[in-house]
Amino acid sequence: MKSTTYHLKGLLQNSGWLQNVRVTINHKGRITEIASEQKAESGDKVMDGWGIPGFQNAHSHAFQYAMAGLAESHSDSANADDFWSWREAMYQLALGVNPQQMEAIATMLYSEMARHGYTNVAEFHYVHHNKDGQSYDNLAEIGSRLIAAAQTAGIGITLVPIFYQKGGFGKDPNDRQRRFISSTVDDYLKLLDASAAACAFYDNANGGIGIHSMRGVEPTDIELVAKTFQKDLPFHIHVAEQLKEIEDCVTYLGKRPVEWLLENVELDERFHLVHATHLTEGETTGVARSKANVVLCPSTEGNLGDGIFPLRKYQQAGGKWSIGTDSHVGINPLEELRILDYGQRLVSHKRNTFYSDEQGNSGLYALEMATVTGRKAMNNSESEFFKVGEPFSACVVDAKAPLVATSRLENLASTMVYSADPSMVLATISYGEVVAHEGRHYLEEQVHKDFIKAIKEIGNR
């Protein structure tokens, strides 16, 4: 790709909107110049839209996209249908997917993410082995397929190979988990190294460290990984998502999950605690003060009946958060932000959820959290929205959309966050390339064909 210049109606920076902006990028998709109050020049790629930072999807289980909408038949109202019954359906899917099908599903998912404005994904990846539970010759075979899917879809990926060792607190793994399991820390280290090698084949891929959950790995091994493994990588872990998980943890360790982490692991800003739904007030402030981040997945958490994270108290203590789509029952980042905010408003009876002393504009605050903390989950510490030397990745909102077209600049971000739908996303630019335009991914036809073929082979829908 040669040097390219985009001309946009506006571009959101941390300090506010720039108008009539020319953004020039080099052949690697990195910004070489940002100039505002400019007219379009001959050869510019002109977009009549407002550019906001490309969204960061900080938590994904790609294969679960194949079961979106399939766990909603509740035949017996007398028995609880909750996370644990949903998990059995997930196990069945995980046992049936081969590497080629995994790549087709992930490519479909990632192209849909791109269509909705995501430009990066953190893939919390735990389907490592073949259907018999044996390692592939390439330990990162499935991870390599996920990276290939991101490359085809045109988005960046942070592959987080997950250490999954146990079937519950003090329990051996069950047979339905056989594709997930690394029995020892050494086994996990080999998987981590193989995954890092796989990332080297795609410029926009990198890696992270991941523990499935407190129930999924022996506590002593969690400590060992946290204290001795690469501290320059983001560290992801599911924690305190379900009440039963907390009860089982107290029985096994005498501590609640986050309570145990705060006492035994030196949490800092490289940690990303996924869900963290059920926290005490002390745990909430403890996590915030540690500088650890939380990753919230509102559509999935709502779908599974997890509960509502204590966001207001967490933010009041200085806590930072990002969003993810987890099981992918929802893929619209603006919808994730709205569900998150409205859940807090419903339990607090107040409307100023997305608020800090520095930022009183709800829309701008939501975009800042989703961008800056989301990037940290991808091992990207850049806090400036668009910067010379950084990749040009943007979600471009149609300036002609009536609510957008009639909004003053001070209302523009909140108009997008609280009223936009996918039809208002004019384009997604990822690492300098237009990967989706006017609701269509650039490889839509082939991606759809491959996905439909894979699902027919699996036969689960």
For tokens 């806090």, what's the residue? Answer: 383
Closest CA to 397 of 427, 357, 374: 427
CB-side exposure of 27: number of CA atoms within 13 Å? 2
Please give the distance of CA 117 from its chain centroid, rounded to a whole number. Answer: 12
H or E stretch covering 140: none
Measured N-to-C along each axis, helices 257-264 and 281-290 cross at an angle, to the nearest 10 degrees, of 40
Closest CA to 123 of 153, 95, 96: 153
Nearest-angstrom CA–CA distance, 164 and 178:
10
| Pair 29, 432: CB distance under 8 Å | yes
For 458, the token pair is 């699996």
Number of H helices, E strands in the chain: 16, 17
Using only the alpha carbons of the chain, give its radius of gyration: 21
Catalytic positions:
275, 326
**Residues in the chain, overall count:** 461
Q: One-letter amino acid identity for 264?
A: N
Closest CA to 296 of 317, 320, 275: 275
| Pair 267, 287: CB distance under 8 Å | yes
Closest CA to 392 of 434, 363, 437: 434
Closest CA to 154 of 365, 376, 428, 423: 428
Nearest-angstrom CA–CA distance, 97 and 125:
14
Measured N-to-C along each axis, helices 257-264 and 219-228 cross at an angle, to the nearest 10 degrees, of 40
